[in-house]
Amino acid sequence: MTVPIECRQDETFVLNLGPQHPATHGVLRVKLTLDGEYIVEAEPVLGYIHRMHEKMAEDRNFAQFMPNTARMDYLHALAFNHGYCLVVERAAGIEVPERAEYIRVITVELNRLISHILWWAAFLLDLGGFTPLLYAFDDREQVLDLLERVTGSRLTYCYFRFGGVYNDIDDEFITGTYAFIKRLRSRMPTQYHALVTGNIILQKRLKGIGIITEEQSRRYGCTGPVARGSGINYDIRKNEPYSVYPEFDFDVPVYHECDSMARYMVRMDEMEQSMRIIEQALDKLPDGPVKAKVPKILKPAEGDYWASVETARGNLGHRLVCDGKKNPYKLKLRSPTFCNLSCFAEVSEGMLLADALAFMGSLDLVIPEIDR
Amino acid sequence: MSIVEETRIALLEMFPEFAAADAAARAAADKIDDEMETMIDEMDSIEPATEGDAPAGGDDEVEAAEPAEAATEPVPEPEEPEEEGPRENGVMLTDHAARGTDIDVLCAPDQVVQAARIMDESGFFLEAITGVDWIKDDKLEVIYDYNQYGQEQCRVVVRTLIPRSEPEIPTISDVMPSANWHERETHDFYGIKFIGHPHLIPILLPEDADFHPLLKDFKP
């Protein structure tokens, strides 16, 4: 398709940011109209790695779609496992044993932790700080090893099954997780907060930049740390409790500054809360089976079902429409970053290009999840 | 009043024919509640019996109205479970534990903007828009999911059916800016034209895509 080149009368010009740009963490293109260094108009162009997961869901049976779920959000793959399991379990009326629920929570929270750690590293890389990346990868590696022990993979997990999990956790995993949390707790104040959070350069780059007001957040359907950084106390784990989350004592960090720093602080605090949840879950871990007896081929009753989970980036929703056959009639994926990014055009108007990149980083974009 | 109940009443604005009957039913239910309260006041001794009835009256005003006001017109029951045959337009309460949604609205295609406006005024945000291809009935279903940030659960799904041969529906992107991308995505996948959309070009599919992969008769 050829697009006629528009000759602009004013002094503005068009700049393509991406699709191959280190700051977009994947193949996202933003068509920017700039006036000097200020953004007049920004239009995110998506779809560079669109794989039509929703179509794939329609022509395979329920269990066969499970590996696909991990390939959307590769940083918090277990939450996508969890979301899909929840909606299918709701449709088919499957009960999950308690031990399996605990294991789900432990692994999902570990995964959330390393998702935030990697976001932190990549975000600071965008801002020009290289050292934190090395510290972050050191910590992340520990969790990857732990998760590899139980799930069998390091990134694109396919660990959850309808009615439980694939594999029980062992003592080595439990002691390893305790040790990791102890280690991360001791590193948090120094490597994370003293080195980075208190840094004056970071503060000047983030404070007061990229303001998403509460009203904007609602109109654009923002969820997760983006909404919580805008002063909205909304976390699916609390608002719409699923799994065994109601049994744990944890807080939902909310910041009212609405800027990039608020979103940064929400994620840093959330890491602390995830560690609290993991510790409580490990302390209370009940005995029992880790998988319910579920038929190999599921045929849920006709109707449509919705289930939401809280991923590291926000509200992940699945809408499943069943027609009584062995594959989904329709599966809709509501990915959190897709909605969070949609406010970019409005918020970045009038911003400096360098600030817009910092703002984009603070949204925590994972492109495969946007493009699905 | 719970948020689900408030939202249900707000949404009934779309269906004036039900709203009048519902208001009558609610008034009747209130009357029963009042009567019951006075009865409870009067007869403290039979508390257990009245207690058993009271939650039913508070929860489901329509059910409560039935025995009381037989003189008023038979109240249309929006809570009816899905029967065989097409469902009528209206507002239906659903079980959150079983379905994941609290309120289910079926409306005419030209009412979706009104629904969006009601949801916007009630402080809801748009969660997703999607379609379903009911090729056997020659219909496309468009589904709007709304949710809110409150501590109480209330997820609203608004659905409408449009003919497959002429898939057109008014846009809600001027009411809810987040609908802009969701509508573009739905247009990509189902070819549904959102009339009045400012920028209805492919978002996830290639820029020159003229196919709609989620239609059931799509051949790659």
- Segment A323-353, tens digit of pLDDT: 888 888 999 999 999 989 988 988 888 888 8
Residue A7 has pLDDT above 80, yes or no: no
**In chain A, which residue's Cα lies nearest the Cα of B154?**
A240
In this structure, of A51-65, A103-117, B50-64, the range with the lowest mean pLDDT score is: B50-64
Q: What are phi and psi of B176, to 5 degrees?
A: -120, 105
A57 vs B130: CA distance, rounded Å: 15
Is A218 touching B (CB cutoff 8 A)? Answer: yes
- Residue % of chain B over a pLDDT of 70: 75
Q: Provide mean pLDDT across the span B66-93.
A: 54
Q: pLDDT at position A84, please? A: 92
Nearest to B100 among A50, A306, A321 (CB): A306
Q: pLDDT at position B151, please? A: 83
* Residue B82 pLDDT level (bands cut at 50, 70, 90): very low
Q: What number of C-beta contacts closer than 8 Å exist between A and B?
A: 94
Q: pLDDT at position A253, please? A: 92
Q: Provide mean pLDDT across the span A205-219.
A: 88
- CA of A306 to nearest chain B CA: how many angstroms apart? 5
* Residue A199 pLDDT level (bands cut at 50, 70, 90): confident
Residue B81 has pLDDT above 60, yes or no: no
Q: Provide mean pLDDT across the span A125-144.
A: 88
Nearest to B128 among A219, A305, A319 (CB): A319
Residues of B whose CB is below 8 A from A330: 130, 132-133, 214
Nearest to A319 among B145, B202, B204 (CB): B145
* Residue A109 pLDDT level (bands cut at 50, 70, 90): very high
Q: pLDDT at position A182, please? A: 92
* Residue B43 pLDDT level (bands cut at 50, 70, 90): low
Instruction: Note whether A334 contacts B128, CB cutoff 8 Å.
Output: yes
Which residue from B146, B147, B156, B161 is spatially nearest to B192, judged by alpha carbons?
B161
- Segment B116-171, tens digit of pLDDT: 888 888 889 998 999 999 888 888 999 999 998 888 888 889 989 999 888 889 99
What ipTM was predicted for this assembly? Answer: 0.87
Instruction: Note whether B213 contacts A55, CB cutoff 8 Å.
Output: yes
Instruction: Note whether A219 contacts B127, CB cutoff 8 Å.
Output: no
Select the residue from A95, A240, A243, A315 to test the B interface by mutation, using most B Cβ atoms within 10 A.
A240
Select the residue from B106, B181, B199 to test the A interface by mutation, using most A Cβ atoms within 10 A.
B181
Q: Residues of chain B whose C-beta is under 8 A from some C-beta in A?
A: 82, 98-101, 123, 125-128, 130, 132-133, 143, 145, 147, 149-151, 153, 155, 157, 176-178, 180-181, 189, 202-208, 213-214
What domains are defined for chain A? 13-311+334-371 (1.10.645.10)
Q: What are phi and psi of A132, to 5 degrees?
A: -55, -30
The per-residue pLDDT of chain A, averaged, comes to: 88
Where do the CATH 3.30.460.80 domains begin and end in chain B? Answer: 94-195
Q: pLDDT at position A189, please? A: 84
- Amino acid, single-letter form, for residue A140: R
Instruction: Note whether B145 contacts A307, CB cutoff 8 Å.
Output: no
Q: pLDDT at position B71, please? A: 42
Q: Which residue has the tokens 């799994």?
A: A243
B32 vs B23: CA distance, rounded Å: 14
Q: pLDDT at position B65, please? A: 40
- Residue % of chain A over a pLDDT of 90: 23
CATH placement of domain B94-195 = 3.30.460.80
- Residue % of chain A over a pLDDT of 70: 97
- Segment A137-174, tens digit of pLDDT: 988 998 999 989 888 888 888 899 888 888 888 889 99
How far the first Cα of chain A sits from its last, in Å, is: 24
- CA of B131 to nearest chain A CA: how many angstroms apart? 9
**In chain B, which residue's Cα lies nearest the Cα of A330?**
B132
Residues of B whose CB is below 8 A from A90: 98-100
Q: pLDDT at position B49, please? A: 46
- CA of B9 to nearest chain A CA: how many angstroms apart? 22
Residue A357 has pLDDT above 60, yes or no: yes
